[in-house]
Structure 1
């Protein structure tokens, strides 16, 4: 049995990073790029090439990641058609104020710089997607509350101690990543946002105790590293590498498994150790990828898990969000299925998510691109990179956080329903009931949404 590519192995589109082939500075200077709508320059730049302004009437996406830039020109607004700007892995210490003068700019990525300060005037008025992962930011400006079109906010791996109350005005927010910061509390207004569906907050002081308790409550065997023989690579993501392996059993037989070795660096979702903790605490479920044990005595001290192999017939249900779709997954044009398959899948994933909640885990990334399925309705929910841990006290906030995930499931149910092929009136009636359930899950009044165990029961009874 061979594992399919694990969900979440390629998060490029989901996090907004651009994989396009870079052009050369010489091409730009020779005028060979006239009329270009998209430009990628990765050539050790220390200054912004003024020749880019020659593309002002056409340029919509500019990727300057992987250079040595620390400033942008004050007249950046001359790029009046620019909608997307990536400047990750550079040397910025402050988000440039010039961004705020770009009237069409709605997607900004400055991951892995040295940014400490975010001036209010640096926030473009049309901003929909802001990526500031892995910087040194201690506070956000109150002006962020004016970004009412903001849908994605990615702030994992900074030094935030609080979120500004003004952020509550960003009622279009759908995805928020605030893991691996220094937050002492989660504001009550955050899970109450009407469109929020995907939230990650692990690795903050207020969540540490819940993470520790969840792991301590789980029973998982230690597997000696020397009993594992690694084979080919099955997938690699920001948090680690998954390899096929043989696990030598006491009777001398080799058992095929998958081994995930975790990296130490912060990802777009948070700390790898939080992902590992969620895997351990999730428990056994037919719609979750099984965890066989935790790796013990790795020669370099690397943390890792031994996972069950996934049958090769399983494939990702959809692709991750694109730059165009922003927060919604991208399905193949031909994606369609009979109701029976969709029903089996919906029931299984709802049940798996309900178990995670019962074990104190918020998945945080309940998306079709994190579901493997076989085309017949058998599915596996994977990728705990954005998982967080629910408050231990069973408080109203714990319930509110579960209802954030109910909205994510409602959006998934809508996607499944819209691609169903009903065979008769009875199946059309089932889809009509699904539409009602989906509306309850996605309603803007977060407190009125059903919990996942109620959702799973409703689907199972249909």
Structure 2
């Protein structure tokens, strides 16, 4: 994090990135002194409500973060920034998004947790748009002009007011990751009183160290005292994340049920002193590790693998089969994961894998309707992307049927993609060759 004093003293000359979070109520004019170099400007966590009309003087600006400020509309000056491709205005009070605020190279738009009721039709005139984060607003519709956004891969519209998912949305050729939980359209699955999910009293748990923390909650190691069993406890936060509501994530974890490629839910915590929602889950063996890291600012929708990551054909096929199996299981339960990514998969050296993070999961009808098929086959494209990433990293010969499967999973015609039942059958035949 930089300081305002450093900026004013000229100590940041030539900086490509500037991070300022110091209670700003006005845009510091000294930022323009970095115009020849500044590419990333992060003003998150201030009290700004406007930006200067001549922001375009920052001619190299590619990425702008202004989350957790006091904006009530998306500033029109953004539209004049010729190189600006990523905009983040999460958790403001934005109710108006003018068409003029959309820069021509817009690729990644984050407007999570605002008060937006309508988006301009001109959003569909941004052909590079790839990632659209709109959870936690008041939207009932999306502009149909988005049908022109053939690169649009990730959409988050959870916790809005959608009563239906339009057919054109479900047929976008590149749509791969969709989250829509917490809308009236979602087919709700009642899990709060599920008798198969144990209630675990808070006093029965002895918490230990923090194992990890994400947008939706904190995971801690714990001892389940009556069974003398080490477990993991996920304590959910109550705020809207980029994917949606953490409580919807908790419901999806419970509804997912048992599967060898899922982390087992032992029960729901009851009696927390602050009424915090929490789940008790199996403790994952330390031999498991993340398959990849989250996408970077540049990769946008593609995970980042460690340099030199390679797999044997046998290990890769075992992982591929595991992911297809658990995805098929979820779809049978009426759940789309919504975030089927390598960074949400844990794996070990022999190819065992576990799918986690249900933050973007949504419920759908279990009957075989056109909408259900489309929702499931959007997720098939995510599987195809993952399959392609693994195939690129295999040492040794690759079965040509896997290459063909990857291509058909990613084809632009959603209706012609296979379902996971077909995918499982194909992978089983390859295994038995």
**Normalising by structure 2, what TM-score?**
0.97
Matching residue of 2:172:
193
Find out whether 1:436 has 2:404 as its counterpart. Answer: yes
The counterpart of 2:148, out of the listed 159, 169, 175, is 169
Q: How does 1:387-402 map to 2 (within 5 A)?
A: 387-402=361-376
Q: Find 1:235's aligned residue among 212, 215, 225.
A: 212
CA distance in 2, matches of 1:376, 1:453: 24
8 Å Cα contact 2:189/2:363 also seen in 1 = no
Equivalences for 1:11-410 in 2 at 5 Å? Answer: 22-207=1-186, 210-213=187-190, 219-249=196-226, 253-410=227-384
What is the aligned partner in structure 2 of residue 453 from structure 1?
A: 421
Structure 2 distance, partners of 1:257, 1:369, is: 22
Give the number of aligned pairs: 430
Q: 1:218: Cα distance to partner?
A: 7.5
- Distance in 1 (CA, whole Å) between partners of 2:201 and 2:323 is 32
CA distance in 2 between partners of 1:216 and 1:452 (Å): 30
Cα drift, residue 279 of structure 1 = 0.4
> Against the structure 1 CA distance between its residues 216 and 399, is the aligned structure 2 distance closer, same or farther, given a 3 Å change threshold?
farther
Segment of structure 1 superposing worse, 162-171 or 439-448: 162-171
Q: Secondary structure at the match of 2:317?
A: helix
Q: Is the 8 A contact 1:29 1:51 kept in 2?
A: yes
Provide, for residues 303-339 of structure 1, a one-character-per-residue CA deviation record: whole Å limited to 9, x for no partner: 1111011000100000010001110000011100111
Q: Distance in 2 between matches of 1:376 and 1:200?
A: 32
Measured in 2, the distance between the counterparts of 1:23 and 1:261 equals 32
**Are positions 1:415 and 2:392 aligned together?**
no
What's the CA shift for 1:219? Answer: 2.5
Q: For 1:79 and 1:52, locate their aligned partners in 2 and report how far apart those are by CA, in whole Å.
A: 9
SS for the counterpart of 2:215 is coil
Q: CA deviation at 1:174?
A: 0.5
Secondary structure at 1:245 match in 2 = strand
Root-mean-square deviation over aligned CA pairs = 1.3
Q: Is the 8 A contact 1:314 1:372 kept in 2?
A: yes
* Structure 2 unaligned regions, length at least 5: none
* Superposed CA offset, 1:276-311 (max 9, x none): 111001111111101111112222222111101100
Q: Which runs of 4+ in 1 moved over 3 A?
A: 213-218
Q: Secondary structure at the match of 1:440?
A: helix
Deviates more, 1:236-245 or 1:107-116: 236-245
3-state SS in 2 of match to 1:436? helix
Higher relative CO (CA 8 A, sep ≥ 6), structure 1 or 2? 1
* Structure 1 unmatched ranges of 5 or more: 1-21
SS of the residue aligned with 1:337? coil
Contact 1:215–1:281 at 8 Å: present in 2 too?
no
Q: Give the drift of 1:393.
A: 4.3
Q: Distance in 2 between matches of 1:54 and 1:287?
A: 53
